Chain A
């Protein structure tokens, strides 16, 4: 158990809908990262927040957004969902503000299925 929690574990929804994925980092960690794992694209970095501020963006679609709240939990919002958004979404947390030596610990993931 990494100490990172994600809810829900599974989510099934329809095209065009909007969903929110939630992540609670390990106790004391200030950074939260979101990744998407799909069969065709593999594991891809989406976005990084540190202590409530956005620090880096990866291949995140404009339909997707995220935020980190004062209690350091983070939410990833996915809107106007398409079939291709079906994937496993991971949250990871780390103690530091980034920098390549920072170690990220991953949650169990949320499996999103768009029908």
Chain B
């Protein structure tokens, strides 16, 4: 069965420091992968997505993610974190074997930014 694991429940990063949020997936074929961000009291906003092609994907707000098939990973990175990046981040895989699509989400990683 498809699954997504985000090993880190909570991460604290200093403002201006680099960030990497980990995501591992389990999927039988080439996955479609997504990163969403949820600010407190808000819905989920799409940061970036990987369908095929270049394994390094650029997203909004200066985020990027790299798909590594050999490691079943899709880690999210940002070179310099801003205080406004504090939020909860969700990695998701799009299931391929259905007439519709279920996004299967990880449990999320809460990012705190310290000054």
Binding site for B on A (CB under 8 A): 2, 4, 31, 33, 35, 42-45, 48, 50, 55-56, 58, 90, 92, 94, 97-109
Contact = CB atoms under 8 A, between A and B. Distances in A.
B102 A56 contact: yes
Contacts of B32: 100-101
Interface residues of B, number: 27
Contacts of B103: 33, 35, 43, 45, 92, 104
Interface of B: 31-32, 34, 36, 42-46, 49, 51, 90, 92, 94-96, 98-108
A56 B97 CA distance: 11
Contacts of B100: 31, 33, 48, 50, 55-56, 97-98
A41 to B, nearest CB: 9
Nearest to A90: B43
Given A42-B106, A48-B100, 12 more contacts: A4-B43, A35-B103, A42-B108, A44-B105, A45-B103, A48-B102, A55-B98, A55-B100, A56-B102, A97-B99, A100-B94, A102-B94
A54 to B, nearest CB: 8
Given A90-B43, A103-B49, A108-B42, A98 B107 contact: no
A92 B45 CA distance: 11
